[in-house]
Amino acid sequence: MIRSRFIFWLFWASLSTPLPAQQGDIVFPPGSGVLNVVTDAGVDNTGRSDVTAALQKIVAETSLRVIYFPKGTYLISGQLRAKLDPSRRPSSHSHGPWIVGENRDETIIRLKDGTWTKPVNSLEVNEKGQPDARVYEQCVLSSGDCTNTTFNKVFRNFTVNIGKNNAGAVGLMYNTSNTGYLGEVNIVSEDGQGLCGLALAGVENGPGQVRNVKIRGFDLGMYNVAHYVIACSNITIENPNKLALYNQGMTTGENFEITMARADGPAIRNLKNASLNLLNSSIRASARSNSPAIENENGFLWLRNLETAGFASAVTGTADARVDEFFTGKGTGLFNDTKKSLRLPIKPQPFVAFEKDFSKWTNPMDCGAVGNGKADDSEAVQKALNSPGKTHVVFPSDKQFRVAKPLTIGPAIVRLIGTHGRMLWDVDSGAKMTISEGSAPLMIEGFSRCPRISVKSGRTVILSAVNPGVDRPPGKGLASKYFAASLILEGTGDVFVNNSHGTMEVNNPAQKVWVRHYNSELGQESRNEFPAVHVKAGTLWMLGWKSENLMRRAIVEKAGAMELIGFNNYEVSNKLKKDGEWPIFEVLDGQFSVASLIQEGSQKNANLVWESRNGEKRILNEQSNGGKNLGLYTGYDSTRVAALREKP
């Protein structure tokens, strides 16, 4: 027994290192444009007063802004629900809010004991594929059950505690679309009761990102009915009473660590027509179960590096407790076998702490910017990006900075944060931000719009919730250069991209890129020559990609390698018929694999992959594949790929 436990620990330790816990305080200096619920709104954070009404008013009436919760306990006796607007007007609910706590463990939203002792209804879905909306009436914190235009919802760095004797409570209901993430959050039941910890539900939820989340207690740890792919990293689920994960949507995840207090059934249930991709994960039970750890009810399933203990087997239909690589559906390769995905090394994203000395922060407004979105603020922004003695630059949420000239981020700067602020630029201006060398990692985060970003240095760069977007003058047509890559990655350092829709070009053999949650609705079509992702040289690993429009999504050339886990191709209207004939992926002597390719909607790409090797081109289409979906596609030269793969 001791030896088997040691072998289990050794295997778990050998897996790719999880993303760091991302602990630490988040702080904002004066002039950042955030709404501080204590200092700006007078909300009590001692835990002695019921602050439901005050907080609900703030959360329901705020959109394009950060709502900031300092350390403390916020006692509530009802739901906090983000702003709703069924009209789908882009000026209202479509962007935010961001609900941000000062500290993951010390900023606590706590439900009064005995508030919701019985559930309103169950989480089972109806004949239309949606759960009963009434169940979310007893949800402590909700991003809002809106439409597929609920963009850019961010919940970050706090704890939701449902207290005691709240068996009918859902801890947190998260819904976002295209961009948005839930991260660095604890969801806790003090006595183990509660209907569900984290519910990823609502109308047409996803795509989005969930990262660094710990759930303790509840009947269901996590429930996902998201219509589009949710990319999950570092999810810890402790002691659920029934299931750790009930997957009825599209879940693509790494580094799940699940511990079951009971083991009279499976830990994960993957339902029919659902999609679950899981790698580098562990499922343990304290008592022996006769069920598999993952019960698959004819859904899409891809697993890699999964270790289980205390179950009859790892997955339905297998006998082993450990999974090296497993997938349902058909594996395909036009030039090589299909048993193994590319297996590029997976690196954790480095943590960049917030500077608490506000004298080291600066703001473009302090450097002479106008911030009205009309005046050219290029010089003021550049001054802020290279200010002596400054390491942090904040762009206030109530300002917009027009940029018409190239910018360079100085070597001393370690964080640019947008707080919903925008840098507007015209495609004809040639404006872009170039990252200079620097010894410390650089974090750029929180921009719903900013200029193109160019990485040519050896510096480590993290781009989180950064979405370059052109601000075109009224009536101006779409020039071909409008579609060009907005993230130009051709340096020698590590690059990490979270929660982005920026088109990417990777073009240096030494460049390594890790992407978690990518959404693209702009790419190659009849009017331009640019794909959404172009790997000319270097390596790109991606977890979770949802695309829209029938276009060529990625090109991988000879000096490039790309691995994609969880791809959702969606389209309902093909205005340009010929574009549907293009492949989703084109491999030009490069190294490539995709796990779980799923197409949906009334339209689809008939061609899945074009692959060329040594002058010979082969085509995989819907007819030759026997369907529009793929369990696993591998397109690589096995003699060359060994040098790229992760080391055992």
- Tell me the pLDDT tens digit for each residue of 511-530: 999 999 999 876 555 556 67
Residue that has been written with the tokens 């009224």 in this structure: 474
Please report whether residue 634 resides in a domain.
yes
H-helix or E-strand containing 109? strand 107-111
In a domain, 525, yes or no: yes
SS3 percent helix, strand, coil of the chain, rounded to 5, is 10, 45, 45
Evaluate whether residue 415 is within a structural domain: no
Q: Whose CA is closest to 581, among 522, 519, 528, 526?
A: 526
Distance CA 389, CA 367 (A): 14
Asked if the structure places residue 626 within a domain, the reply is yes
Sign of the four-CA dihedral 337, 340, 341, 343: negative
Tell me which of 204, 223, 247 is where a domain ends.
247
Structure tokens at 561: 């390698």
Taking residue 331's Cβ as centre, other Cβ atoms within 10 Å add up to 19
195-197-203 Cα angle (round to 5): 90
Q: What is the reported pLDDT for 74?
A: 98
Looking at residue 191, what is its pLDDT? 96
For the stretch 215-252, what's the b/e string if a residue is b when 16 or more beta carbons lie within 10 angstroms of its beta carbon?
A: bbbbbbbbbbbbbbbbbbbbbbbbbbbbbbbbbbbbbb
Instruction: Locate 507 and state its tokens.
Output: 């073009």
For residue 190, being part of any structural domain is answered with: yes
pLDDT attached to residue 474: 52
Cα 472 to Cα 121, 402, 427, 521, 645, distances in angstroms: 48, 12, 7, 18, 43
**What H or E segment, with its residue span, contains residue 126?**
none
Q: Tell which of 247, 281, 315 closes a domain.
A: 247
CB 604 within 8 A of CB 579: no
- Residue ranges in the chain whose pLDDT is less than 50: 1-22, 90-93
Give pTM, 2 decimals: 0.93
Degrees, nearest 5: CA angle 503-401-427: 40
Q: What is the rounded end-to-end Cα distance, in angstroms, of the chain?
A: 25
203 three-state secondary structure: coil
Q: What CATH number is given to the structural domain containing 86?
A: 2.160.20
List beta partners, residue 539: 512, 561
Beta-carbon-side half-sphere exposure of residue 554 (alpha carbons within 13 Å): 32
CA pair distance 159, 29, nearest whole angstrom: 23
Residue 425 lies in a domain: no
Per-residue confidence (pLDDT) for residue 511, from 0 to 100: 97
Rg over CA atoms, the chain: 24
Does 616 map to a domain?
A: yes
**Sign of the CA dihedral running 198, 150, 629, 610:** negative
Ramachandran angles phi, psi of 21, nearest 5°: -65, -15
Tokens found for residue 7: 């072998």
Examine the fold and report which residue of 213, 247, 281 is the final residue of a domain before the chain moves on. 247
pLDDT for res 482: 58
Beta carbons of 580 and 547 less than 8 angstroms apart: no
| 560, burial (CB in 10 Å: exposed 0-12, middle 13-18, buried 19+) | buried
Helix (H) or strand (E) holding 381: helix 378-385
Q: Specify the pLDDT at position 603.
A: 77
**What's the DSSP call for residue 117?**
-
Paired strand residues for 435? 409, 455
Token representation of residue 70: 């300092």
Is 40 a member of any domain? yes
Q: What are phi and psi of 91, to 5 degrees?
A: -80, -5
Phi first, then psi, for residue 411 (nearest 5°) are: -70, -20
Task: Quote the number of domains for the chain.
Answer: 2
**Residue length of the chain:** 648
State pLDDT tens for residues 455-500: 999 999 999 988 887 665 555 555 555 566 789 999 999 999 999 8
Domain that holds residue 610: 482-641
Torsion of CA 416, 417, 421, 422, to 10 degrees: 40
- Dmax (CA) of the chain: 73
